[in-house]
Each structure stands twice: as C-alpha cells, then as structure tokens.
Amino acid sequence: MPEHDSYALNFIEASAIVKAEFPLVHISGGLSNLSFSFRSLDELREAFHSVFLYHAIKNGMDMGIVNAGKLPIYDQIDVNLRSILEEVVLNKSEDGGHVQRLIAYAQKAKEELEASKSGVKVAKKVDEWR
C-alpha cells in the first residue's frame, strides 16, 4: 500500500530524532512488520531485516528481536537485492519503481521456492561458515 511506503524510513528518522533529544532512552523496533508480506521467503526477509538494521542502528535503534544467526551480513547481500531493499527501506529511487522491483524479485523467489518443493532442484548458495 503506497501509504505505507515511508514507514521504515519514518522509523529510522524518528529514531535519530529521539536519540538526539533523549540519549538515554532505548529504541526498539519490530522487524517482522517490515517483511510480513514475504512470509515463506526467508532469505528475502532476512536480507530485508539486515538492510533495515544497517540504517536503523546507525540512527539510534538499539533493541529488536532477531535471529542473529540467520541475518546475512549487510556487505555480503547480493548487490542487486541489497540495492532493491535499500530503495524500499529508504523509499527512494530514481524512477520511483522500487516497490515494483521488490515485488518482482519476491515473485521470482516464490516461483523458485515452489519449483524446489515440486522436486525441481534449484542451486542454493550456502556460506561456508554456516
């Protein structure tokens, strides 16, 4: 919904304002609220959370419920996906098509997930340290 497009950015900006005014407060945020629409697309959701946290923590967020073992390292997220997610989290892109790019990415990921469940093998990259 377009009226929700700025929610992540608003939270990030509000965190910076609150921390500047009240440096001793703690700021908590609900990460799953950002990615709820992408249930079952765990890799996408985890990357989304990582990109959001990258910006929110720099601006004052200091609490949140996450599975830290599942969060990808920001710099190790696929450049294309990270770019799309940054545009969505910050609600800006040169052409304004960032939400549609994320939806298209999610649709492709969903199709790949369904193909893998139907027995068609889809290669999956796994980090060595995991």
Task: For residue 40, give Cα distances in angstroms to 11, 43, 67, 114.
Answer: 25, 9, 15, 10
What's the pLDDT score for residue 2? Answer: 79
Mind listing the pLDDT tens digit for each residue in 4-57?
A: 888 999 999 999 999 999 999 999 988 888 888 888 899 999 999 999 999 999
Q: How far is Cα 97 from Cα 1, in angstroms, rounded to an integer?
A: 14
Of residues 51 and 123, more confidence is placed in: 51
Q: How far is Cα 67 from Cα 19, in angstroms, rounded to an integer?
A: 25
What's the pLDDT score for residue 32? Answer: 83
Mind listing the pLDDT tens digit for each residue in 60-89?
A: 999 988 888 889 999 999 999 999 999 999
- The CATH H-level (homologous superfamily) assignment of domain 2-117 is Dihydropteroate synthase-like (3.20.20.20)
Q: Give the domain ranges of the chain.
A: 2-117
Are 85 and 51 contacting, i.e. CB atoms less than 8 angstroms apart?
yes
The answer on pLDDT for 129 being more than 70 is no
